[in-house]
Structure formats: structure tokens, C-alpha cells
Amino acid sequence: MMPALPSTPTTQRNDPCPCGSGKKFKHCCISKQTLQPANNTDLITLFQLAVRSFERGQLDQAATEFRKILEVKKTHADAIHYLGLIDYQQGKTDSGIALLVRSLTLDPENASFLSNLGAAYNETGRFKEAIPVLRKAIHRNPEYANAHSNLGMALQHAGEFDSAISSYRRAIALTPNHANALYNLGVLLFSQDQFSEAIITLLKVVELVPQHADCIFHLGLLSDKMGDPSNAIDLISHAISLASNQPIYHLNLALIYDKKGMPERTIEHMKLAAALPIPHTATILGEIGLLYAKLGRFSEALSYAKEALTLNSELLSGHLALGLTNYATGHEEEAIAHYQIATKLAPNNATIQSDLLFFLLRSRKIDDQALFNAHLEFARTFEQPLKKLWKKQSNSTSSDRKLKIGYVSADFCDHSVAMFIRPILAHHDRHDFTVYCYYNHTRQDAVSQELKSYADHWRPCLQLSDDELFAQIQRDEIDILIDLSGHTALNRLLVFARKPAPIQITWLGYAGTTGLSSMDYRFTDQYLDPPGMTDQFHSEQLIRLSASYTFGLHFQPPEVTPLPALSGQAFTFSCLNAHSKISDENIALWAEILKRTPGSRIMFGNSEEEAVQHRLINTFASYGIDASRLILKPRVTTYDFLALHQSIDVALDPFPYNGGTTTVLATLMGVPVITLSGSRTVSRCGAGIMGAVGLSDWVATSPDQYVSIAIKYFHDLEALSRIRQSLRDRWHQSSVGNPAAYTQEIESTYRQLWSHWCSQQTQKAPEK
């Protein structure tokens, strides 16, 4: 936001009078200043000299000259007003505003005085005081463009956006080249998602002021929003070349590099933002901390976020940064506490609410009913107001026609979800189904290109608002729309809440309910959701398939090697899951296993971060396990991740938040996984995967049984070796490893659900 600076009162003899009368100055208010010269001083000449000094930026000299005028006439309103402007511009805002107010007591109808006072109120955040002052200025002179522009700013900050836009437009109508009004209007239109008009408006500013760094910066943000990150990078880089001391420029450039998957450039600009030799606001520190948290740089995230919160304990970004950091390092209760604060600070932010639900999903401190109620509260807050958009679907009710299927995800790239949806997209019957993919990300890689080749229609949609994506899906006439995210990152649940398709299904991305009444079904299986166990905690109807997923890599995996422990290697357990899933309770149980299996060790993945290493080493040490028994591996490529299993004998599943992709990959590599099942869907993922490959005896129902399974196979290497050598075949023989058959089952289910919907529409049709 660039505030309109206080303008200089016009005081030349032949200029319009600043009081707004429409008369020339010499025929109006000049008479108020014309006195008999004192000590042979021509008061008017001295006033004009003072104004020229002010306009040249010689503020101290101008102040001296204006004070000489007041020695002659203490009630000289213009001199007092100018002294107020000088104090204000020199940083003495309180005394400056006091003088501006005093000048108005002498000349209360002066439109210029009123507008300048309103602008000063704006700059000092006193927007409610500015509004009546500026409206009075406009009443005195309806064609005063600066007053309209200043009023626009006051209204904007007061949340009266439509009125603010009208004021800016009026200022521009009066003065088409009013750069401040154009800039502020462009930024406001941007904030209201009116992107096209915002771009046109801001481009006019650049025509007027080619070196306007803030304007170029916002054009960069708009380019990113419109799906052109490369142009955004060019524009923001240009803004930095014009004003390199703006940390917000570097920070936003870092965010764009992060979205493009360029961590080195991301960190470079974060460091540049932090290194600028200016006092950093809490906001900047908090945003840097939040971005470090998203990058997995948790030590830096903690440092910046804590410093930010010492400056402002109610800083949203600070609590989000600490929430994400604590979540990622396994401190779930601390993460939940920070996110609960964040939801109070931003109660209408659906993304933050979704993140909190995702954290609560894995917490043992909340029971199943309370968790379900939290999801229903999300629906009451965000879905209920959108139900007015629900309309009778106009899709053809022919039950045997070709169906349009839409998949919505931010993970159509090298992401675990892609491993599960890839074989479905590849095997869809194009004779019976037209496939649309709505991709809610900008990342492009080999996986996204492959998935794009399987889709009949590929729709990048990150830059689309919820209303725009809703309209696009309706134009596409989608029959069945599938959400692959649930309450995970970059979900589009608020689009589903608008009910753009007749049938809506959630699947794969989130092991639980969305809470939305607009979501008709959730795909699952008998292992994840045994009949009667979780149905009552879902807003959706559960559809139990033979398995909840199929799976397919986009490359040939490494070979399954002989059991490492039979080759003389120390018996190796592992947990290669994300550390956000590893609770202190898990570590306590795994420490017990290590104590009862002499010489064994345990491998962890994704452990390059110092905060993660310290937590593992210190927590295991508290249970008497030396760091020498821990193998800490860094984040690696998917292929190298699979190859790690050639050194692993048995994998240990975290609980209550079980692994999903990690467990599937372990079984593919011949490594069985000990899992502890619970009553919640998210704590039964391991049971589903191990059941699908015929190893239900590896599913424990108590911590003691979990330990017993580990000890049993530690002592029976021959049995463990037989399982290892058979697991990949078991995997391929199951529905998990037969994507063609599984896709046929999915398509048959789609057809059944569609036939049911069509019959319902026929029953609802009025009799003729």
C-alpha cells in the first residue's frame, strides 16, 4: 500500500484558492493574509519564499520563514498548516498533526487542509478519523482528486472495499494520471481477486512512473497468481534492482522459487531478506520463519518464529511456523496448540482450519467423536454459507452413456499420491470414460508429464479462485468428481463445498472424513474401515472396495536382495516415515524392542535436519539407547529410498498415524512391516496394506504384541527370509499389484453410483 502524501497548499496569486471556492487565490483568501507589512517586511513575499523553500525540500529554512510570518500574524492559517506538514515529514507526527488540526480551526472549510489532515490520519493508521475529515473535504470541493484518493485509502483500511474502489475511480476520473489512486486501486483490485483489471490498472502506473518499484513488485505477484512464475521472477527481480532494501520483495521471490522447486534460490533470497541492515518487523521475521518451516529448515524456522513472537505474540505467521515445525519434528501437542491460536487469529482461513484438522487426526488426546465434531464444525463454517450455490444438476440422466470423471489434486507430480492414482489414469477405459485432471500446483516434472498424457483434459487450476474452478467444472459437465486431498495441503474442498458435480467422492489423500455434506462418498476397504467401526464418524457414505488403493511406480524398482541379517549384518529395524508421524510413544516402544534384541539397530530416513537428529538421539538416550544404534539417513530420491531396504530386515510402522506409501514401498522391496492398528482410519492404514499381501499376523492390536512380533522374527531369520523372498510376488498377486483389474473395479463402482443417481433423479421428477 502506498499512501497519498500530504499535498502542498496552493498559494500563488493566480492559482485556484485552496479553500475550494473556485475563485483565484488573489480574489479570495489572500485577503486573510494581506496585512500592513511589519518592520518593512512584505508578508506575501515572505510567504512565497517560504513555500519555494518547502517545495525544494529545504524544510528547516522553510520552517524558519513560516515562523517569521507567525511573528507578524499568529493566526496565519497557511503558515501554521505548512509548519504542520514540515513537522510531519520530519517524523514529528504528533506535533505535525496538531498543527494541521490548528490550521483547520482558523480555516475550517479549506478543502486542501482537510485532505492533508485526512492523509496524515491515514498514514498513522487513524482511518476512522480520516473518513469524516475527507468526506468534508469532498463536500467542500467535489472535484478534489487528492481527497477522493485519500478517502479511498481510509475506506479500504476500514474494510469498505466497494466504497474504496468507487473513491479511487472518482479520483482517476478527475485526474486520469493520478498515480497514487491508480496504484492503490490496482492493489485493492488484486486483493479482491479482480486480477485482469488489477494488471491493466498497475500497468498504467508503470507508464506514468517507470521506476515504481512497489507497482512492479505487485505486477510480479499478479503474474505468479495468473500462473506465470517465470515472468513473476523477472518482475520482482526488477523491483529489487530498483529498491534492493525491501525485505518483502526478497521474501516473495523466495516463495515463488519455493513453488518452482528451487530450494537453493529460495534460501538465497530468504537470507538476503534477513540480512538487510534495517530493523525487521515481526511480520517479516514471521514470514521468513514460516518459509523455513515449509522448506524443512526447522532450526532456522524456530529461531525466526520465536523472535517474531517476542515482538508480537499474536503474529499469525509466527504461530504457523512454530506449528509446522513442531508437527514435522513429532511434537504434535505443541503443533496443535499453535494452530489453535492461529485459528482464533484467522477464523475465516479455511487452509489453517484444514491444517489443524490434519494435526488432530493423528492425536490421541482427542476422541473419535470430538474429532468428527471438529470436521463438522469446518463444514458449518465454510460449507454452510455456500449451499446457496447448490442447484439441480443439469447432467444427462442416461445411466449407460459415457461418463465424465474429474480428479482434483495438487499432487499430480513426483508425490506419493501420484503413485496411487497413476495406474488408475493409465488403465481407464476411454470408451466409457472421459478423464479430466484438475491440477492444483505449478510444479512440472516427469511424473506430471506422464500423468498429463493419460488425461483427456488437463486443467491447471492453482491460479483459479474457488468460484472460477467451480464454474470451470460445471462448464466441463463433470459427472463424478473425485477429491484426492481431503484436508491436506493445497486442497480444493471449498470448490467441492459448492457442489459442482452430481456425485462427489473423496479418496486416497486423507484417511478420514472431510466433514462436508457435499461429499457423497469415501472409497475405502474392510481393513481401513471395518463395517460398523468408523461409519458413524463420516459425513460421507463409505464404499468398501476389495482394497483401498492400487499402486504403480514410473520406473523399475531395485531388486529384492537376500535378508541382510543372514549375511552377517547387524539386524536392522527401520522407520523411514516422515518424522511428523513419529511420536515419543513410538520411540519408547522401539527402544524396548532394541533392548530386547541385542546388537540390533534402527534406521531413520529424512534425518538431515539438526533438530530432527537431536530429538531422536536425546529421546532414545532417555530410554537408555546409545546413539551408535541409530542410523540416520538423509532425504534421498525415490529410487535410492527403495534401495535402502536392501539393508533393512524389518520395518516398524508408526502409530497412531500409520504409514501409507512408506509401508507399500517396504513390502514391494520384501521388507515386512509391524503395525499397530487402532479404531481410527488413520491408525489402520498398516492393517490394510499388510492384509492385502496376506500378512495379517504382522498386525498388532496392542503394544505388547507389537514388541512380541519384532522379537519373534529377530530370532527366526529363516522364516523372515522366506517372507522377504515371497513378498513382491504376494504384492503383484494382490489387487494392489494388479492395477488393470483394480481400475475395472473402480469403473464398475463409478457406473453403479451413477446409475443410482440417475434413478434418484427419475424418482424426483414431477408427474406429468
**pLDDT of res. 708:** 98
**Cβ-Cβ contacts under 8 Å for 242 (sequence gap 6 or more):** 211, 213, 216
pLDDT at 473 over 90: yes
Q: What is the pLDDT of residue 153?
A: 94
286/312 Cα distance (integer angstroms):
10
Q: How far is CA 450 from CA 29, 61, 422, 445, 642, in A?
A: 76, 71, 9, 9, 21
Dihedral angle, C-alpha 158, 162, 168, 169, nearest 10 °: -170
Per-residue model confidence (pLDDT) at position 486: 97
**By the 8 A CB rule, do 699 and 691 touch?**
yes
CA distance 459 to 407: 10
* CATH number corresponding to 386-419+428-545: 3.40.50.11380
Radius of gyration of the chain (CA): 33
**Is the sign of the CA dihedral 322, 328, 333, 336 positive or negative?**
positive
What are the cell numbers at 403?
A: 461418463
Identity at 560, one-letter amino acid code: V
For CA atoms 525, 529, 535, 538, the dihedral sign is negative
Give mean pLDDT, residues 328-356: 95
Q: Evaluate if residue 512 carries a pLDDT over 70.
A: yes
pLDDT of residue 632: 97
As a whole number of angstroms, the distance between CA 567 and CA 569 comes to 6
Position 763 scores a pLDDT of 78
Which residues, in sequence order, are CB contacts of 275 under 8 Å at separation 6+? none
Res 41: pLDDT: 47
pLDDT > 70: percent of the chain: 94
Q: Residue 738 and residue 424: Cα distance in Å, rounded?
A: 11
Cell for 41?
517586511
Is pLDDT at 38 greater than 50 in this prediction? Answer: no
| 728, 560 contact by CB (below 8 A) | yes
**554 grid coordinates:** 514410473
Please report the pLDDT score of residue 736 as a whole number: 81
Out of 62-76, 272-286, 447-461, which region has the weakest mean confidence (pLDDT)?
A: 272-286
Task: Give the pLDDT mean for 285-304.
Answer: 91
Instruction: Name the grid cell of 225.
Output: 497468481
**Average model confidence (pLDDT) across the chain:** 91
Cell 539417513 appears where?
633
**Among 506, 642, 455, CA closest to 561:** 642
Lowest mean pLDDT: which of 148-157, 411-420, 549-558? Answer: 549-558
- pLDDT score, position 33: 42
Least reliable range by pLDDT among 81-85, 133-137, 269-273, 581-585: 269-273
Which letter does DSSP use for residue 479 in this model?
S
Residue 2: predicted pLDDT: 35
Cα 684 to Cα 33, 341, 356, 421, 528, distances in angstroms: 86, 30, 21, 20, 5
Beta pairing, strands 433-439 & 457-460: parallel
Looking at the chain, the domain(s) classified CATH 1.25.40.10 span: 25-224
Predicted pLDDT of residue 31: 44
What is the structure's pLDDT at 166?
97
Residue 765: per-residue pLDDT:
57
Of 567, 564, 563, 528, residue with least CA distance to 544: 528
Angle in degrees, 0-180, between the axes of helices 298-311 and 316-328, rounded to the nearest 10: 150
Q: Kindly report, as residue ranges, where domains of CATH 3.40.50.2000 are found in the chain.
A: 569-714+723-737
pLDDT at 22: 53
Q: How far is CA 503 from the centre of its chain?
A: 27
Percent pLDDT > 90 in the chain is 80
What is the average pLDDT across 204-225? 96
pLDDT for the residue 263: 84
How far is 600 from 42, CA to CA, in rounded Å?
Answer: 99
Query: Which among 590, 559, 601, 581 has a CA at the least distance from the CA of 674?
Result: 590
Contact 571, 714 (CB under 8 A): yes
Per-residue CA distances from 599 to 11, 162, 573 (Å): 92, 71, 11
Helix (H, G, I), strand (E, B) or coil at 604: strand
Cα angle, residue 469 at apex, residues 462 and 486 outer, rounded to 5°:
70
- Mean pLDDT value of segment 339-355: 97
Handedness of CA 459, 348, 369, 703 (dihedral sign): positive
| DSSP output for 412-470 | SSSSHHHHHHHHHHHH--TTTEEEEEEE------HHHHHHHHH-SEEEE-TTS-HHHHH
Whether 50 and 62 have beta carbons less than 8 Å apart is answered as: yes
Q: CA 333 from chain center: how many Å?
A: 22
Q: What's the pLDDT band for 26 if we cut at 50, 70, 90? A: low
Residue 120: in which H helix or E strand, if any?
helix 111-123
The model's confidence at residue 34, banded by pLDDT at 50, 70 and 90, is: very low
pLDDT given at position 275: 84
**pLDDT recorded at residue 158:** 92
What would be the CATH architecture of the domain defined by 25-224?
Answer: Alpha Horseshoe (1.25)
Instruction: Tell me, letter by letter, the H, E, C secondary structure of 367-406.
Output: CHHHHHHHHHHHHHHHHHHHHHHCCCCCCCCCCCCCEEEE
Q: Which residues pair with 602 in a beta bridge?
A: 573, 630
Q: Look at strands 480-483 and 503-506 and give their pairing.
A: parallel
- The region that residue 602 occupies, defined by phi over 0 for left and psi between -120 and 50 for alpha, beta otherwise, is beta
d(CA 758, CA 607): 52
Give the distance between the most distant pair of CA atoms in the chain. Answer: 115
pLDDT digits (tens, 9 = 90+) for 474-505: 999 999 999 999 999 999 999 999 999 999 99
Per-position DSSP letters for 617-637, written without gaps between them: HHHHHHTT--GGGEEEPPP--
Name 439's bridge partners: 409, 460
pLDDT at residue 261, rounded to an integer: 78
Strand partners, 574: 603, 651
Neighbours of 192 (CB within 10 A): 14
Query: What stretches of 461-545 show up as alpha helix (H) in DSSP?
Result: 466-476, 493-496
Q: CA 510, CA 280: separation in Å to the nearest integer?
A: 38
CA atoms of 3 and 25, how far apart (whole Å):
28
Whether the pLDDT of residue 435 is over 90: the answer is yes
pLDDT at residue 552 in the model = 85
Reported pTM: 0.77
Specify the fold of 569-714+723-737. Rossmann fold (3.40.50)
- Among 605, 675, 613, which Cα is nearest to 644's? 605
CA distance 484 to 550: 14
Bond preceding residue 263 cis, omega within 30 of 0: no
List, in sequence order, every residue forming a beta bridge with 483; answer none if it has no partner. 408, 506
Report the 10 Å Cβ neighbour count for 704.
Answer: 10
* Signed CA dihedral, 558, 560, 561, 566: sign only: positive
Average of pLDDT values for 415-444? 95
* pLDDT tens digits for range 580-631: 999 999 999 999 999 999 999 999 999 998 889 999 999 999 999 999 999 9
Give me the residues paired with residue 24 across strands. Answer: 16
* In the block, residue with C-alpha cell 478423464: 435
Which amino acid does the sequence have at 117? L
Q: What is the pLDDT of residue 561?
A: 97
Q: Supply 698's cell numbers.
A: 504382522
pLDDT score of 149 more than 60: yes
- What order of strands is seen across the sheet that includes strand 650-652? 630-632, 601-604, 572-575, 650-652, 673-676, 699-700
pLDDT interval class at 142 (50, 70, 90): very high
- Rounded to whole angstroms, the Cα distance separating 184 from 170 reads 13
**The pLDDT value given to residue 768:** 38
Residue 32 is predicted with a pLDDT of 44
Give the integer Cα–Cα distance in Å for 220 and 186. 13
* Residue 10 pLDDT exceeds 50: no
- Average of per-residue pLDDT across 673-702: 94
At residue 15, the pLDDT reads 58
Where does the pLDDT of residue 23 fall: very low under 50, low under 70, confident under 90, or very high at 90 and above?
Answer: low
635 C-beta neighbours (distance < 10 Å), count: 12
Grid coordinates given for 577: 516415515
Residues spanned by CATH 3.40.50.11380 within the chain? 386-419+428-545
